Chains A and B, each alone.
Chain A
Amino acid sequence: EVQLVESGGGLVQPGGSLRLSCAASGFTFRSYDIQWVRQAAGKGLEWVSGIGPSGDPYYPGSVRGPFTISRDNAKNSVYLQINTLRAGDTAIYYCARSMSSASGTYQFDYWGQGTLVTVSS
């Protein structure tokens, strides 16, 4: 059974940092891209980062912003480092699986249950 389990969320003060983890099981991890998507309360889905099987990172636009994505294929895990957190980063962060392609990626066929990040003093 394919499973993605996020962890690492919590309450953090503005300006702080967090490292979110996505632990995968039930599939050949090194063959897939892993994506991070966030959702603020009452808002839509926002893609924030992705990583290819070999560790190639993808970010929105031309600026990475506060996010750094990485993966450890030996541990079947992907990490999202978020620095300089602001109130606007408060959201549920989901990780999702997508099959890698030569020119990009495919649809997100499995999602984790999400981890809540709250930025507040």
Chain B
Amino acid sequence: DIQMTQSPSTLSASVGDRVTITCRASQSISSWLAWYQQKPGKAPQLLIYKTSNLESGVPSRFSGSGSGTEFTLTISSLQPDDFATYYCQQYSTYPLAFGQGTKVEI
């Protein structure tokens, strides 16, 4: 089974900061990686799919990159609405797997 490891687990940042979250897969997943944002009490929402494709309606300050086993999510200028928890997910093959999450806090 493929394991997903995110870092850091928690990230303290300020409005306007550039933020980068890393996700590593235990084996190659090509580009089959998604990123989700989750706010307290809400269901996760898709941000990015296939490593770098922005879901409709997602602000352009979000971007994704990587391939194989190492991936990053970047927020170019952190906004108040971006304080949330972010999860990566591999969908290269079943069983599917999520990273453990990165909480972005003030």
User: What is the interface of chain A, defined by CB distance below 8 A to chain B?
Assistant: 35, 37, 44-47, 50, 58-61, 94, 98, 103-109, 111-114
Contacts and interface: CB of A to CB of B under 8 A. Distances in A.
Contacts, number: 65
Contact of A107 (B46, B93, B97, B101): B46
Contacts of A109: 46, 49, 55
What class of interface size applies to chain B in its complex with A? 20 to 34
Interface of B: 1, 32, 34, 36, 38, 43-46, 49-50, 55, 87, 89, 91-101
A46 B99 CA distance: 9
B47 to A, nearest CB: 10
Contacts of A105: 91, 94, 96
A47 to B, nearest CB: 4
A47 B95 contact: yes
A112 B42 CA distance: 10
B1 A60 contact: yes
